[in-house]
Amino acid sequence: MNFLKGILSLIGAIVVIAGLIIGVKYGSSMAKMDSQSLGLYMKMADDVLTTGDPAKGMIIKRKLVIEDGTSKEEAIQNAIEVMDEIGENYGLAKVDEKTMPRGGKFMKDGGLYTHIRSYCSPSIADIFLAYSGEFVGFMPCRVGIVEDKNGDIWLYTMNLDMMIHGGHTLPPKLLEYANNVKDAMVKMITDGAAGEIAE
């Protein structure tokens, strides 16, 4: 019992010392961090530790609904039309698209479907890059449409929360633009996956 108390006391002392070191070394920087940053890092760490897959902590996905009487190809095309329309409504133009083979085959030849679409607003991109050139790593925004081994189709996009809230609090106007882009990307995959007919 005394041994266990000793171990727990040692662990407690290490945690306190580590906290003091972090506070002294990073205190002023931590005060500037976005209030949501710690929670985001903890959730991401939990996702990675739980699944072993770092991508799962950085991605949002939605399963494509395929209505009865609708082919996969029709459902995918409809989702693309819905996403493009939403993108335009938010000022995000489609800047690229690419359908890729999986296992050396395209869907029409029996391969699993994989399609990537890229969206961007040059004016918003310019504002982000004026703030930090490293934001280019998040550009353009992308949606991946991927068929899994069970034949289900998934729509993926990057979770922009880490970009928005993972560091120092963004200036108000930049934060507004960032949240609008995030809202657009989430709406694109959510509405695109819902199986609703594009107008």
CATH number for the domain harbouring residue 100:
3.30.310.70
pLDDT at 104 over 60: yes
Do 182 and 95 lie in one domain? The reply is: yes
Tell me the residue type at 83: M
Q: Report the pLDDT value the prediction gives residue 134, as an integer from 0 to 100.
A: 92
Report the domain count for the chain.
Answer: 2
92 and 161 in a single domain? The answer is: yes
Query: Do 14 and 80 belong to one domain?
Result: no
23 lies in the same domain as 68:
no
Range of the domain at 19: 1-31
pLDDT at position 170: 92
How far separated are the first and last CA of the chain, in Å rounded?
Answer: 70
| Closest residue by Cα to residue 97 from 108, 84, 85, 110 | 84
Judge whether 148 and 156 are in contact, CB under 8 Å: no
Average pLDDT of the residues in 168-174: 92
Task: Give yes or no: residues 183 and 94 share one domain.
Answer: yes
State whether 68 and 141 are in the same domain: yes
Instruction: Tell whether 1 is covered by a domain.
Output: yes
Query: Across residues 123-136, what is the average pLDDT?
Result: 93
Residue 54 lies in a domain: no
CB atoms within 10 A of CB 144: 17
Encode pLDDT of 22-37 as tens digits.
566 655 666 678 888 8
Structure tokens that stand for 58 in this block: 């950085």
Confidence of residue 197 (pLDDT cuts 50, 70, 90): low
- Residues constituting the chain: 199
| Mean pLDDT value of segment 46-59 | 87
Residue 193 has pLDDT above 90, yes or no: yes
Model pLDDT, residue 128: 93
pLDDT confidence of residue 118: 97
Kindly state whether residues 143 and 184 are assigned to the same domain.
yes
In this prediction, residues 116-125 reach a mean pLDDT of: 95
| Domain identity same for 173 and 93 | yes
Identify the pLDDT of residue 27.
57
Per-residue confidence (pLDDT) for residue 198, from 0 to 100: 54
Q: Is residue 129 scored above 70 in pLDDT?
A: yes
Task: Answer for the pair 83, 194: CB distance below 8 angstroms, yes or no.
Answer: no
